[in-house]
Amino acid sequence: MAHIEVLTEDDRWTTAGLPALAEKACTAALSELSLDAEYEISLLACDDARVAELNTEFRGKPTPTNVLSWPSEERGAQLPGMIPSLPDGAPHELELGDIAVAFETCAREAEEADKPFEDHVTHLLVHGTLHLLGFDHTNDPDAALMEGLETRILAKLGIADPYRQ
């Protein structure tokens, strides 16, 4: 289960129903990994300009991106392609971290891929949640594991495989 605290800086996200999408996506990601405690995620619903600032500050990349995430603690896997050290529901592990999503980039990507906006955002929220849990895609084995999880989670939500062309 996920408790999502949404800070909305761009009202277009309210119109898009982001809180409900976030609850569905983040809970699905946690459920797929059998994480059933009341985990907490902070979600910043913003625009490209704000995400570009954050991307510059934290990654040294002065451009907007679709989603950013900041895990509350390092949970990465010991070896490429392995499941990271997942939280066990202990009180000190309930805060998973923060996610930020940029409206314009999400909307543009959905349109370019001819996908429903809600499906694309759901995918990005699943993706961001997996990053909070220590999953990554910096090498081929990790990317295969993460993409496989995303595809399975999204299929359970009735969303097509985002990696199939």
List, as residue ranges, the binding site for Zn(2+): 127, 131, 137
- The whole-angstrom distance between residue 55's C-alpha and the CA centroid of its chain comes to 15
CB within 8 Å of 15: residues ≥ 6 apart: none
Q: Give the helix/strand (H/E) hosting 31.
A: helix 18-32
For the chain, the C-alpha Rg in angstroms (whole number) is 15
Burial bucket for residue 29 (CB in 10 Å: 0-12, 13-18, 19+): buried
Q: Which pair of structure tokens corresponds to residue 111?
A: 């349109």
